[in-house]
Structure 1
Amino acid sequence: MNRRDFLHKASVGALAMSIPGTITSLFKDIPMGIVVHSYGSRWNSKTPSAKYPGFADAVDLIEHCHKIGAGGVQVVVKDWTNDFAKKVRDRREKLGLYIEGSIGVPKKTEEVAAFEQEVKNAKEAGMQVLRTVCSSGRRYETYHSAEDFAELQKNALSSLQLAEPILRKHKMKLAVENHKDWRAKELEALLKQVNSEWIGVTLDFGNSISLLEDPMAVIKTLVPYVFSTHVKDMGVDEYPDGFLLSEVPLGKGILDLPKIMALCRQHNPNVTFNLEMITRDPLEIPCLKDDYWATFSGVPGTELARTLRMVRQHKYTTGLPRVSQLTPEERLAAEENNILACLAYSKNSVRL
């Protein structure tokens, strides 16, 4: 970064933080994009529906997101042919949407060639940023000892080191998500070990609450590395073994979205804002059970106390939304309505 770029970024960020009322006017005129996981019910849906037909591939997703006024998509890149990548590129260029990818990382040397082919396909489609995760599931459900989690950390570092030369070769950015796996300082330490300009963060605004972290502390720790985002708002409630956590429509939850988005822009003026509004039953975070703590030996009790106090103070007043009792058609409708409500918030409240 040269001196002029640094001064520009610093001045924009300072203005955004010092004059909250003007935050919205500083954002680029690019509507919020949509993460494919927002369409968990509709993506590859087998439910016959005239009103909410399933999306068979990335082109279907692009077409629909353009229709409802989104600015782009973040979609899985796997097993694409070069011809399909070109089809994706042609369609998104015609519609004027940006596109980001979601990709796996190589676990061993023999997988590097396949990884490179997916990177090449993503680049052919017009992608510059690829989101990834380095774990196989939620930390408190998948890893049952300190040794298990240490193995994850070792394997994640190895995977990113295998991926880095390919990313550098093709000038593609890889953004590791805080995916209910890494606490913020752990992910920061991983990125510092890799030490590459091509590897940063997909900053999920709410996931780390499940790991007893303060959301703004997570943002401030990881935002210097932000390449992409998963925008969401979160609702919370109590249950006997800990607390419940749900994605809720933007503006209805506990997160300070304008402040978070301003911080993202301050550190990366080109960052995209990608909606991940997952319509599902609340997740149970069993932080009062012994098993939950198997990989959290260094986390102080004050973090648990602060989180449970926050839950009691900000319980979702109307009860967290549930969808398991709905028919498949009703779930599709609830999913679409939530996404449309979030897009409306992004346009009316933060002027994306």
Structure 2
Amino acid sequence: MLKLGLETESLHLWFQNKRMDIFGFIEKAHELGFDGVQINVVPDYNLDPVWGALGGNSDEHLKKVKELIDKYNLYVEIDTRNLEYDHLVEVIKVADKLGAEIIRSYIPIKPLKAEALSGEDGAYDFAKVRCDFDPNSFDEGIEKVKKLIPVLQKYRIKLALENHEYETSEELVDVVKKLNSKWVGLHYDFGNSMMVWEEPVKAAENMAPYTLTTHFKDHIIIEDPSDKYGYVVCGVPAGEGNIDLEKTFAIMMEKSSLTRINVEMCYPYCAQFKRTPGTGGVEKVGEGAFKVEKPLYDYNVMRPRQYYYPQEVSNELLEELLQKQIEGVEKSFKYLKKLRDNYFGK
């Protein structure tokens, strides 16, 4: 039976505002019925400056985390970023100690011409850049991964490269084909292709044969008057957005070898379009996954770029979204479980 996991980012507000640590997260994932956890070791507001939601990498700490994971018989995966050799080697060692078989990362980009985003009203992401790629980004990424393959082989751990808001599915498939290693595949994010103007169904078709792991999520498009294009991609609980999750799920089941699907419910969260319209085949918003919906909040109450850090607006909004986030995780789990059970005829 296909196993279902939960990514720590799904409860980012709980981590960032010290309402939950990695142990509480594992307990919550088990309580909700998940079969595994995906731990994001990327730094963010109020998190460990190196190990993010994991909270540290001391042997004592990792031993306690592993004991709790084993107590509930959960699988574990690790999410990190970039491909710097020393960092990835450390992440691989941590993954080995926790019993993780898969690490997610993504290729760092070099912009041809970048537009720095304003730091006002929070931020959409750490990159804070909208750009078209310097093609050398992929070539440099390939060389970095090649150096890591012997380490991955030694520890028997696979690296999954994600479509992380900047790369089209064709670009990533080309990278994996050039690497041609059983230790390197792809990470299919059900929603991130939208930020490069690519329909999630198209990305699923292209990426599925090479996919090792996933982020299961749903998105809508909302207006943002402050954005260059006037619209942004907005995360919502699974089943409440416009991604054809039934079709993308079926593609993953039929064309990949996946045995796990991981929920990464990016709510509340908004992301800018990162590439030029048409890059991934979609020229404008309005149809399919790109259908425009009402914003989560009135623009004068909270702007889209403030959704991710509502504590910057008011404690009242923070408390409201903390509750909505946990409810969104519950909704997303039930939706995915029903999707799985219906697909397999349970």
Per the normalisation by structure 2, the TM-score is 0.76
Say if 1:135 and 1:181, in contact at 8 Å, map to a contact too: no
Say which is worse superposed, 266-275 or 203-212, in terms of deviation: 266-275
Taking the aligned partners of 1:38 and 1:223, their CA distance within structure 2 comes to: 23
Query: Which has a greater percent of helix?
Result: 1
Matches of 1:136 and 1:41, distance apart in 2: 27
Trace 1:46-57 onto structure 2 (pairs within 5 A). 46=18, 53-55=19-21
1:314 counterpart residue number = 291
- Asked whether the 8 Å contact 1:236–1:320 carries over to 2, the reply is no
Structure 1 98/182 Cα, relative in aligned 2: closer, same or farther at 3 Å?
same
2:24 pairs with 60, 64, 86, which one? Answer: 60
Higher relative contact order (CA 8 A, sep 6+): 1
Q: 1:279 to 1:89 in 2, by over 3 A?
A: same
- The alpha-carbon deviation at position 237 of structure 1 amounts to 3.3
Gaps of 5+ in 2: 42-50, 117-126, 298-303
With the length of structure 1 as denominator, give the TM-score of the two structures: 0.75
Q: Across the two proteins, how many residue pairs are aligned to each other? A: 299
- Determine if the alignment matches structure 1 residue 351 to structure 2 residue 324: no
1:2-34 alpha-carbon deviations (Å, 9 max, x no partner)? xxxxxxxxxxxxxxxxxxxxxxxxxx153x211
Query: CA-atom RMSD, angstroms?
Result: 2.9
1:81-117 CA deviation, whole Å, 9 max, x = no partner? 2333332222111112111111345425xx2xx5334
Instruction: Identify the residue that residue 8 of structure 1 maps to in structure 2.
Output: none
DSSP 3-state at the match of 1:315: coil
Alpha carbons 2:212, 2:257 under 8 Å: kept:
no
Q: 1:33 aligned to 2:5?
A: yes
Decide whether aligned partners of structure 1 residues 29 and 153 sit closer, same or farther in structure 2, where only a CA change above 3 A counts. Answer: closer
SS in 2 for 1:250: coil
Q: Deviations over 1:150-179 (max 9, x none)?
A: 342233122211211111111101111100
The answer to whether the 8 A contact 2:211-2:258 is kept is no
Q: Secondary structure at the match of 1:345?
A: helix
Q: Cα deviations across residues 317-343 of structure 1 (Å, max 9, x unaligned)? A: x54466446532222111111111111
1:244 to 232, 252, 268: 232
Alpha-carbon distance between aligned partners in 2 of 1:313 and 1:80, rounded to the nearest angstrom: 40
The amino acid that maps onto 2:233 is L
Match of 1:283 in 2: 271
Residue number in structure 2 paired with 1:135: 108
Which of 105, 115, 119 aligns to 2:92? It is 119
Q: CA contact under 8 A between 1:107 and 1:158: conserved in structure 2?
A: no
Please give the secondary structure, in 1, of the residue aligned with 2:173.
helix
Amino acid at match of 1:348: K
Letter in 2 for 1:38: S
Shift of 1:125: 1.2
What does residue 50 of structure 1 align with? none
Q: What are the residue-to-residue correspondences of 1:80-95 with 2, within 5 Å? A: 80-95=57-72
In the alignment, which residue of structure 1 is the partner of 2:145? 160
The question of whether the paired residues in 1 share the 8 Å contact of 2:9 and 2:40 is answered with no
| Structure whose alpha-carbon radius of gyration is higher | 1
> What residue number does 1:265 align with?
253
Q: Give the SS at the match of 2:341.
A: coil
- Contact 1:82-1:121 at 8 Å conserved across structures: no
Residue 200 of structure 1: SS of its match in structure 2? Answer: strand
SS in 2 for 1:351: helix
What fraction of aligned residue pairs are identical, expressed as a percent? 24
In structure 2, what is the equivalent of residue 331 of structure 1?
321
